[in-house]
Amino acid sequence: MKTQDKKYLEELLDTENMQLERLHEIVRTAIQEEDMVTSMIEETNQDKDLSFGQRLSDRVAQFGGSWTFIISFMLVLFGWIALNSFVLTNRAFDPYPYILLNLILSCIAAIQAPVIMMSQNRKEAKDRQRAENDYMVNLKSEIEIRNLHRKMDLNMEDQFQHLFAIQQKQLELMELILNKIDKK
């Protein structure tokens, strides 16, 4: 093989290595960009910045929506009714229609409902922020997939060009060999 042919093949291999190096650089850049996006969308810890009222509303909502609350409330109600109906029959502080009990229940419901709503509104804001973060991650993924498709297409085009160039060189070398054989 001629030195010119060897030189040409070495140049083809060098361009192939340069192409791979460019692809590696693109991947490094994409990884750095991913780090930037993930650091931008990290969820801020909002629980540290809560006021006393917000923490209290969260605890009330958590307790008010538990089986512990339901069971203990039922026990208090039955205890109230039993105390006023059976134990203190002649001296009941809240006789049968249980007007005082109804007033207390109404007050608890009137206070508990807005407190639970405050807690739910704050949780909804957190969910909205989480959904925004998910959207950013999905958008970044879509962009990365498109970039990967472009890289693959570019890579395939370059490989086909190199392959055709190598095949062309092989054909030229085969013609040279055939010409040498024919001359002999």
Q: What global pTM score does this model have?
A: 0.51
Give φ, ψ of 15 to 5 degrees: -65, -35
pLDDT of residue 10: 74
pLDDT of residue 60: 85
State which residues form the domain around 92: 3-183
Q: How many structural domains compose the chain?
A: 1
3-state secondary structure the chain: CCHHHHHHHHHHHHHHHHHHHHHHHHHHHHHHHHHHHHHHHCCCCHHHHCCHHHHHHHHHHHHHCCHHHHHHHHHHHHHHHHHHHHHCCCCCCCCCCCHHHHHHHHHHHHHHHHHHHHHHHHHHHHHHHHHHHHHHHHHHHHHHHHHHHHHHHHHHHHHHHHHHHHHHHHHHHHHHHHHHHHHC
98: left (phi > 0), else alpha (psi -120 to 50), else beta? Answer: left
Residues of the chain with pLDDT below 50 are none
pLDDT of residue 68: 94
pLDDT of residue 78: 93
pLDDT of residue 132: 86
pLDDT of residue 37: 62
Query: In angstroms, how far is CA 83 from the centroid of its own chain?
Result: 55
